Chains A and B, each alone.
Chain A
């Protein structure tokens, strides 16, 4: 590990002179920068009441209490105290309330539900289609297509096994195809930045992998050459795919200067196996930034936590192993009530978002900043609370000025579940997909409980 640290230190040396320009896209003609998306989801629900601006008054407060539709500009309001870290970015922020997600699995664990808008469970057959982040990644292709990082649960029914490994994640590439997520910053760096790692072991692994792929591509390619018709396709598709990976590797090699320049700047502690949850999240955020800024990917999905994630390192209770399930059931931790613990967790999430947004705002792109072309969504994986029903599904959205949805700077409450004009998670994702170039009529399963309503399509008022 020492040599890896050396590499990182070396890359740190350049940090001072590290021109804050994304090497790949600096040369892009104006307006051609890709759009980027960051999805951050959390377990244990997101309590809708906690997202209401404290300065909401009068008729609007009444509407909020009755969960009736309205919207106000955030400019005129104070954010809830725990969102303080984002107060600098109010003009980019949307607090979106009133969506529902009863067509998703709700309750404790939800697998791909909140990103795919269907009832996912532990069976792969429950994955009906690609999750929305993958659909967006298709619209803005990149070498790695999509990166998923996760603070995996280690306990509970949704346990993913090795929390430091590469395991089945919460996104899906397509029907019955779970995505794989990096569980620790260390394993993510080893995989994603291997082409620029300078320690011997990594270099050898890198060479072995290249040789193996070359071997496989040659063997299968030679076999395909001798075939024709359908039988040829049966082998050629496969050998072509191996060739595609090699091509991707070549592209990554060509980018290695850029990748090296933007490789995450992490202290040693982020490489420890017993990393606490809060540091793990910070490490993941840094990797997300590196891969986005270097242009390796345009879409990153981060599981900030899941109900089974044993939380460690939370401010004021650093020494505690916080069991989110117990917190969901109202159990206090140390001297803090459950609601206070929830707030501490969210407060840290806000600092992560600030880290991401601020950094992207510091990277020039296209005459503006990289953040201009970025949209970040923060939301619960299961709806409104611990034992959720999915009647509410709050979102915090951060979007740059080139965003294609007209929602920034607002607190928006949509009509409540079952009321006229009510909108679902499916409508919300449909809006995003439509706005960014996927004309899908409706993304997501429908809610059998809303059979009497027209549930399909985008949320028109968001499309500007």
Chain B
């Protein structure tokens, strides 16, 4: 019996192919130039190429064509797939398996099946090397130098992080990357610098260099000491003894890989070390050995292979040492802490309970792992807020993708001047707004109740929240008191005598020196006249002043309009006498016309174009991230352009260009979701009409600094359509983005989709169908614990998927 002309056992594949494939691809007809019944006549390479195509077409359900009435059942399709896979496996030639490992194929595993409860396969992760993340890389450098606590560095002068993560929204850190030449080039430079710094103090002791002598005057950072085993060799006048060399090799293995060298490693490094020392002397010879260890690929990878006996399903548990790294890197970027190392050493990292104990311990620890939540926004005038577990918060940052706001450049003039782009030393307005989005996420994570629903629907936000609420309240109280006392005094005309009269008040409440002059202070200094003028435009108009006055050095808070909040008086051109935004002391606070992260300006801008919104991308995001759906990539033949037209809204233009059937078959999955967000403009501001920005529609020209140009507008349509929740009560016509978001927040599928992404984040890979039980358990943990994300983490990190490794076709 043959299939595709290839021999098969007594399977039903032949009949299935006869039924579904040969009618278009046989000796009578070769659609797409493909004839399947003569594969055995093709050279092996071509045959495998065809089989790979067949496998993909079957797997993604693209063949037989949808329009064909006769379709295989699910079971039949599986049977055909199994046969093709087996055939490819014989030659180790399947490309599908590799493709499915990448983030954009994550949703191809059937959602229904994953959560059906019918899968009884035992979960596991393929045994693997997993390239370190940029953050872990830096922490590994810290570990090389033995830096702890406050001595840890977030960057090193001579070290370039060789690892880059993609910048799409969604989980970005996967186990799919392989080390390559780019990494190597940077590692050569890095290793050179690191090894020189490792030996520096010993060389100073040895009199080779002076303590204040630096080849590069800008690079004076130096670790406090050189490990003793190295110092012995550097300071020795004669060649080192073999035992000393062995000690040095073990020491470098400990610094770099936190383990001793194996016997064969020791032999090889010893040979190199001896040769190098005889060639170049102790110091430089030793340095070569240090570099040789730093260049080991193991330094760049996390090892997860499992150890011990295989269980009946062919799986092995992570070794205690591997487990300590897996847990440490799941919850932080650092190597295992002392407790984990101890537990691993004492054989207390074997059982699920052991994992649970350590995971809960780390999650409860409020200080040891704390760090900046959004390190990349820090710059001039802004430093990221701190969070207890940056690695945990990072999941939501990547999932929502709002930090990509920094990458979108906007024309400042179009904003009327309130928006500033990222530039030298600053992430611009985006830095502040991203930080504000992060704060909401962190706020919700701290409460840890109904986390997903809260993230999607909260109406509370942080804006200009630069101090804890109590501090802000105290400042405002002091200012108000001073204003009430001084407002009827001649502070403008005679600040000197007013200041002398109210000396204590000025000192205590306003932090001013006495006497005050009318002029003569630096442009950024507080003066009585400036502060009282500011209070007049705030307290005097019944609003609360923002605690950083507009003349403060590095003042960048002129973007409140992005939330449709009026500007702080004095920040946007001349004072117009209008009430400014009534600054909120108690934050987070309610902002009208917003609902959750998807209406936060950071998310809206991150998913926008330079000069327009981006309904297609927003729709795609919701389809893929929240509905676990899939939209194929834009076909390469399509030049995706929305036509210009000064008389029509973006929606009208988009509708026209995507309405042809061949476009709509994909756009139907995106546009009806994304278009609901047209209630916000491309700066993220709520709107009811769309400005038709074209010279012929210009009503009033703005100066681009304190005012924007005004154009004719057209009413907006913001309704849409939701399908794909699997719940008829939720699917259907939606009024606007709020309606859409409310329904999404109620959808079980959305909850499951977020959990699938969390799985990917903590496991570094796409879920396999065999991970079904892990996902079901994680969802149950979320529901049972009142929507606790922490319990989702505990569930995932104590699952079989996390604990067990299995050798697969792709790993050894």
- Listed in ascending order, the chain A residues whose CB lies under 8 Å from chain B are 103, 105, 107-109, 119, 121-126, 157-159, 161-162, 165-166, 168, 173-178, 180, 204-205, 207-208, 211-212, 215-216, 219-220, 223, 226-235, 237-242, 244-245, 445-446, 448-449, 451-452
Residues of chain A with a CB closer than 8 A to B279's CB? 204, 207-208, 211
Q: Is the CB of B424 within 8 A of A244?
A: no
Kindly name the residue among B219, B410, B812 whose own CB sees the greatest number of chain A CB atoms within 10 A: B812
* B160 interface residue per 8 A CB criterion: yes
* B18 interface residue per 8 A CB criterion: no
Q: Is the CB of A226 within 8 A of B268?
A: no
Given A231-B812, A234-B129; A175-B219 close (CB under 8 Å) = no
Q: Is the CB of B611 within 8 A of A211?
A: no
Q: Is the CB of A215 within 8 A of B178?
A: no
Kindly name the residue among A161, A229, A239 whose own CB sees the greatest number of chain B CB atoms within 10 A: A229
Given A125-B376, A238-B179, A244-B181; A211-B288 close (CB under 8 Å) = yes
Kindly name the residue among A107, A161, A175 whose own CB sees the greatest number of chain B CB atoms within 10 A: A161
* B284 interface residue per 8 A CB criterion: yes
Given A176-B164, A449-B411; A212-B610 close (CB under 8 Å) = no
Q: Is the CB of A162 within 8 A of B217?
A: yes
In angstroms, how far is the closest chain B Cβ from the Cβ of A408? 35
Residues of chain B with a CB closer than 8 A to A107's CB? 424
* B216 interface residue per 8 A CB criterion: yes
Given A157-B424, A219-B268; A448-B409 close (CB under 8 Å) = yes
Residues of chain A with a CB closer than 8 A to B129's CB? 231, 234-235
Kindly name the residue among A119, A159, A219, A239 whose own CB sees the greatest number of chain B CB atoms within 10 A: A219
- CB contacts under 8 Å to A, within B796-812, are 809-812
* B297 interface residue per 8 A CB criterion: yes
Residue of B nearest to A118 (CB): B409
Q: Is the CB of A162 within 8 A of B219?
A: yes
Residue of A nearest to B808 (CB): A229
> Which of B182-190, B201-209, B568-576, B652-660 touches A?
B182-190
A177 to B92, CA, bound (A): 34
Size of the chain B interface, CB-CB below 8 angstroms: 62
In angstroms, how far is the closest chain B Cβ from the Cβ of A329? 18
A105 to B131, CA, bound (A): 33
Residues of chain A with a CB closer than 8 A to B272's CB? 211-212, 215
A40 to B92, CA, bound (A): 51
Q: Is the CB of B811 within 8 A of A161?
A: no
Given A109-B424, A229-B810, A235-B297; A180-B268 close (CB under 8 Å) = no
Question: Which of B181, B424, B810 interacts with A122 by CB under 8 Å?
Answer: B424
In angstroms, how far is the closest chain A Cβ from the Cβ of B119? 24
In angstroms, how far is the closest chain B Cβ from the Cβ of A10? 24
Residue of B nearest to A239 (CB): B297
Q: Is the CB of B179 within 8 A of A451?
A: no
Question: Which of B181, B280, B811 interacts with A204 by CB under 8 Å?
Answer: B280
The 8 closest A-B pairs by CB, nearest first: A162-B216, A241-B181, A161-B218, A238-B179, A229-B810, A230-B810, A448-B610, A448-B411
- CB contacts under 8 Å to A, within B391-440, are 406-407, 409-411, 413-414, 421-425
* B180 interface residue per 8 A CB criterion: yes
Q: Is the CB of B292 within 8 A of A216?
A: yes
A223 to B129, CA, bound (A): 13
Question: Which of A205, A220, A445, A452 interacts with B297 by CB under 8 Å?
Answer: A220
In angstroms, how far is the closest chain B Cβ from the Cβ of A314? 24
- Listed in ascending order, the chain B residues whose CB lies under 8 Å from chain A are 92, 98, 101, 127-129, 131, 157, 160-161, 164, 167, 178-184, 188-189, 215-219, 268, 272, 275-276, 279-280, 284, 288, 291-292, 295-297, 301, 376, 406-407, 409-411, 413-414, 421-425, 610-611, 644, 694-695, 809-812
Q: Is the CB of A451 within 8 A of B611?
A: yes
In angstroms, how far is the closest chain A Cβ from the Cβ of B534? 30
A237 to B179, CA, bound (A): 6
Residues of chain A with a CB closer than 8 A to B301's CB? 234
Residues of chain B with a CB closer than 8 A to A125's CB? 167, 376, 406-407
Question: Which of B181, B219, B610, B811 interacts with A231 by CB under 8 Å?
Answer: B811
Question: Which of A122, A178, A226, A233 interacts with B425 by CB under 8 Å?
Answer: A122
In angstroms, how far is the closest chain A Cβ from the Cβ of B634? 15
A109 to B272, CA, bound (A): 45
Kindly name the residue among A205, A216, A244, A245 whose own CB sees the greatest number of chain B CB atoms within 10 A: A216
Q: Is the CB of B184 within 8 A of A238?
A: yes
Residues of chain B with a CB closer than 8 A to A208's CB? 276, 279-280, 284, 288
Residues of chain A with a CB closer than 8 A to B131's CB? 234
User: Mind listing 29 A-B residue pairs with CB under 8 Å?
Assistant: A105-B423, A121-B422, A124-B161, A125-B167, A126-B422, A168-B160, A175-B164, A178-B160, A207-B279, A208-B279, A208-B284, A211-B288, A212-B288, A215-B268, A215-B272, A215-B292, A216-B295, A216-B296, A223-B297, A229-B810, A234-B297, A237-B178, A238-B178, A242-B184, A244-B181, A245-B188, A445-B409, A448-B414, A448-B610
Residues of chain B with a CB closer than 8 A to A241's CB? 179-181, 183-184
A256 to B628, CA, bound (A): 59
Residue of B nearest to A449 (CB): B411
Q: Is the CB of A451 within 8 A of B610?
A: yes
Contacts A239-B297, A241-B184 supplied; 12 other A-B pairs, CB < 8 Å: A122-B425, A123-B422, A124-B161, A162-B217, A208-B284, A211-B288, A216-B295, A226-B812, A235-B129, A241-B180, A445-B409, A448-B611
Q: Is the CB of A162 within 8 A of B297?
A: no
A123 to B430, CA, bound (A): 15
Q: Is the CB of B809 within 8 A of A229?
A: yes
In angstroms, how far is the closest chain A Cβ from the Cβ of B178? 4
Residue of A nearest to B297 (CB): A238
Residues of chain A with a CB closer than 8 A to B407's CB? 125
Residues of chain A with a CB closer than 8 A to B178's CB? 230, 233-234, 237-238
Residues of chain A with a CB closer than 8 A to B812's CB? 226-229, 231-232
Kindly name the residue among A121, A126, A227, A232 whose own CB sees the greatest number of chain B CB atoms within 10 A: A121
In angstroms, how far is the closest chain B Cβ from the Cβ of A216? 5
A324 to B284, CA, bound (A): 41
In angstroms, how far is the closest chain A Cβ from the Cβ of B140? 16
Q: Is the CB of B409 within 8 A of A237?
A: no
Residue of B nearest to A119 (CB): B409
Residues of chain A with a CB closer than 8 A to B160's CB? 124, 168, 178
A109 to B268, CA, bound (A): 48
Residues of chain A with a CB closer than 8 A to B695's CB? 452
A230 to B99, CA, bound (A): 11
A159 to B424, CA, bound (A): 12
Residues of chain A with a CB closer than 8 A to B215's CB? 162, 165
In angstroms, how far is the closest chain A Cβ from the Cβ of B465? 24
A121 to B425, CA, bound (A): 8
A121 to B379, CA, bound (A): 12
Residue of B nearest to A226 (CB): B812
Q: Is the CB of B296 within 8 A of A219?
A: yes
Q: Is the CB of B180 within 8 A of A238?
A: yes
Residue of A nearest to B422 (CB): A121
Question: Which of B291, B376, B414 interacts with A123 by CB under 8 Å?
Answer: B376
Question: Which of B157, B216, B291, B410 interacts with A448 by CB under 8 Å?
Answer: B410
Kindly name the residue among B183, B215, B411 whose own CB sees the greatest number of chain A CB atoms within 10 A: B411
In angstroms, how far is the closest chain A Cβ from the Cβ of B638? 14
A105 to B420, CA, bound (A): 13
Residue of B nearest to A110 (CB): B424
In angstroms, how far is the closest chain B Cβ from the Cβ of A428? 20
A325 to B295, CA, bound (A): 42
Q: Is the CB of A229 within 8 A of B216?
A: no
In angstroms, how far is the closest chain A Cβ from the Cβ of B4? 25
In angstroms, how far is the closest chain B Cβ from the Cβ of A102? 9
Residue of A nearest to B218 (CB): A161
Residue of A nearest to B639 (CB): A441
Residues of chain B with a CB closer than 8 A to A121's CB? 422-425
Q: Is the CB of B182 within 8 A of A173?
A: yes
In angstroms, how far is the closest chain B Cβ from the Cβ of A119? 6
Given A176-B164, A242-B184, A452-B644; A212-B291 close (CB under 8 Å) = yes
Kindly name the residue among A175, A176, A180, A208 whose own CB sees the greatest number of chain B CB atoms within 10 A: A208
